[in-house]
Amino acid sequence: MTDTTPANPVLRVAPATPAEAAAHFRASLAFHADVSDVAAALAAGGDPGFVVLDSRSTESWDQGHVPGAVHLPTALIPEQAGRLLDPSVPVVTYCWGPGCNGATRAALALAELGYRVKEMLGGFEYWAREGFPYETWQGPARRDADPLTAPLAGECGC
């Protein structure tokens, strides 16, 4: 019997069929939103149709957070979500950044309580790096966009 495994390590495991890939990526979009899309929805004015939730510590929140976000550390979600969040409004969670799974843990805790939820990819790190305004304990702030994360003035062009 001949080994038909491709020599290329990227293709060592055969790619999914197009239908399987479409189902996977459709599901991924159901669970994730990116920083640019969240910022655009919030900047459009009016009710964006969701609430943004910062699941980090108070110290992190004070250093900077998305304007209008609800602050609810993950550990406090079971006891405080019902008081702070409307169950009929979808929630978009975030934590520090891609190296942290705090937003995922927060999203899981909310989903288990019956909330519709998405995770904001990139977290607060990429919110600030892309040059979007944020709030600190001292007031509003904004950084220049990092050209590696926001090469087209806050838009990736995709």
pLDDT at 53: 98
Q: Please report whether residue 123 resides in a domain.
A: yes
| Coil vs helix vs strand at 136 | strand
Nearest-angstrom CA–CA distance, 146 and 129: 5
Name the burial class of residue 153, with classes exposed (0-12), middle (13-18) and buried (19+) by CB atoms within 10 angstroms of its CB. exposed
**Between residues 81 and 2, which one has the greater pLDDT?**
81
How many residues appear in the chain? 158
Q: Please report whether residue 21 resides in a domain.
A: no
Write the DSSP assignment of 66-131 as a string of letters: -TTPEE--GGGHHHHHHHH--TTS-EEEE-S-TT--HHHHHHHHHHHTT--EEEEETHHHHHHHTT
Report the CATH number at residue 94: 3.40.250.10
Number of domains into which the chain is organized: 1
Q: Please report whether residue 126 resides in a domain.
A: yes
**Which one, of 29, 34, 25, lies nearest residue 149 by Cα?**
34
**Which one, of 126, 108, 104, 157, lies nearest residue 34 by Cα?**
126
Q: Please report whether residue 49 resides in a domain.
A: yes
Pairing, β 70-71 against β 91-94: unpaired
Q: Please report whether residue 83 resides in a domain.
A: yes
Structural domain harbouring 79: 33-139
**pLDDT tens digits for 31-62?**
999 999 999 999 998 999 999 999 999 999 99
Q: Please report whether residue 84 resides in a domain.
A: yes
pLDDT at 9: 78
Q: Please report whether residue 9 resides in a domain.
A: no
Q: Please report whether residue 119 resides in a domain.
A: yes
pLDDT at 54: 98
pLDDT at 2: 57
